[in-house]
Structure 1
């Protein structure tokens, strides 16, 4: 009986679309979640902005296609999970008052130093309205409230767990060496069907020679780097070694403050790295670290329990994907 009603819903949904002119793309169903559907336009709203960023990254065609394929599947999975959560919100009659949405919007404007006019203009540039943004904000608050009710409220982190974590991660609280890093990134691309890595590598060597000849690294980054950090002279910020990729970790460990690396061929592209500064942070006693550890353990437990909760929802739901 349930399956029959689902198939009837699918038929009604498909027939409800007006016939479009030849050459126009018909919207279609890409997933059914219990008695509700997710359409191709729902998916594309998430997917298309991501495709633009990937296509501007200069990946080889086969890698680009693989990344986009995986992203599309993952985004559909996210939409399915959102739909399941929204159905739970409805079933449990969770509500958000208009003033709560207004207060959250006001806090977002304060945190980001936006006026309402600036926010409206920014949304308009991306093809959205303030009303749409408020609707999304309401949905986010509702989902957060659901997670709080179903997951967070059932988690207790004990003093023993906090002490045990502190003992097992002593090196983390003894004080860490932090490295202030700058980087110049040259993206590797395919042009006319040819890999341009060698050309980027030669360009990198030329830039490194100019820096060693006296050109300030910051000026070189602003002129040549293709990373967002170029505007800040290639400044990536402060990192502990365990926060870096294996390649950068090895490189940074071998540099003294003020030195630059050789030209590197990394997964991000061709890179030149400069170690600006190196400092050791003071250690933390158990009492000083206690709240930080509690938050870390709590969040990791929330993430784990949330996945388990979603898995349980999936197992009891009717889900069919049609990509």
Structure 2
């Protein structure tokens, strides 16, 4: 699993990564309509890694990617300005529901989520606000672009008929061993457990003794989990095994997982009418991505933008 978001979600959701930079003197680096962008704003927006160490924003000025990064910042600012004009809002409850979905997808608890954020040097507040801004961006784009996209009934049915496997309600009955990457030598511990499994040690006993997952007291029993709630990497590993067997060690940004597949409950294909709205949204999203650049350029043409560096 490459993300937390690609951890799937940190790199995708987080708009303001909290990163330690060398202290710098603040100054205006750009003006976008009635808003200004300061060096401190960019200090929170840009994260650069070189040989495992973060660079200062001043060093980054010498990086050829800087121009591209500040352009991304301006694009996001334009979107937020549009949200204000259109009176589009994202509530705290909206964000809380998204975070609940993230925890469920990654098979982690609230404590494990906060632990990972701490390791990534990201405050929970920044993470929360990052999700809110991303959702705000999506709603503005949806309002401005999606309303212009025509999706016919024939297009919806064609997508459905050519993607039937996407609409099966398969469920996996799973048991789970999880070793947090906060533990010293977490990888070695997970590999050792995998070897013990190959020697015939009961999965449930190892889960009770070693797993950091809350299900450890129940032998790692997760019960039935919908396929759609699992990350692609976990699904890929499960697709390689048969019921009654276990996966190899699966590395994620949270740690190391071993899943035991107890049963696969093959679901029926969901009727067209029940997924029609979902298909519509997916087609809209795909087409919207194509039109996004055009929309941003339109905003830029109608805005006052001055970059001062």
TM-score of the superposed pair, with normalisation by structure 2:
0.55
* Change in CA separation of 1:314 and 1:183 when aligned onto 2, cut-off 3 Å: farther
> Deviations along 1:297-316, whole A, 9 cap, x unmatched?
22333333334311443467
| Residue aligning to 1:81 | 75
| Residue aligning to 2:41 | 42
Distance in 1 (CA, whole Å) between partners of 2:83 and 2:240 is 53
Mapping for residues 83-232 of structure 1, pairs under 5 Å: 83-88=77-82, 94-95=86-87, 104=91, 146-147=140-141, 149-173=143-167, 175=168, 177-181=170-174, 182-185=176-179, 187=181, 201-210=187-196, 212-214=200-202, 216=204, 217-220=206-209, 222-223=211-212, 230-232=213-215
Distance in 2 (CA, whole Å) between partners of 1:231 and 1:73 is 46
Mapping for residues 27-38 of structure 1, pairs under 5 Å: 27-33=26-32, 36-38=35-37
TM-score of the superposed pair, with normalisation by structure 1:
0.53
* Change in CA separation of 1:42 and 1:293 when aligned onto 2, cut-off 3 Å: same
Residue 42 of structure 2 aligns to a residue whose secondary structure is helix
Q: Deviation of residue 170 (structure 1)?
A: 3.0
Q: Deviation of residue 150 (structure 1)?
A: 2.5
| Residue aligning to 1:297 | 283
- Gap regions ≥5 residues in structure 2: 1-21, 101-122
Distance in 1 (CA, whole Å) between partners of 2:80 and 2:285 is 22
Distance in 2 (CA, whole Å) between partners of 1:36 and 1:241 is 40
Q: Deviation of residue 89 (structure 1)?
A: 6.1
| 2:190–2:257 contact (8 Å) kept in structure 1 | yes
* Change in CA separation of 1:159 and 1:109 when aligned onto 2, cut-off 3 Å: closer
Residue 172 of structure 2 aligns to a residue whose secondary structure is strand
Structure with a larger share of its residues in helix: 1
* Change in CA separation of 1:257 and 1:142 when aligned onto 2, cut-off 3 Å: closer
Distance in 2 (CA, whole Å) between partners of 1:290 and 1:151 is 20
| Residue aligning to 1:320 | 307
Residue 26 of structure 1 aligns to a residue whose secondary structure is coil
* Change in CA separation of 1:209 and 1:220 when aligned onto 2, cut-off 3 Å: farther
- Point out the structure with max Rg over C-alpha: 1
| 1:178–1:280 contact (8 Å) kept in structure 2 | yes
> Deviations along 1:148-195, whole A, 9 cap, x unmatched?
55223322211111122122223334x364435535346499xxxxxx
| 2:170–2:226 contact (8 Å) kept in structure 1 | no
| 1:180–1:239 contact (8 Å) kept in structure 2 | no
- Gap regions ≥5 residues in structure 1: 1-22, 55-60, 114-125, 190-195, 224-229
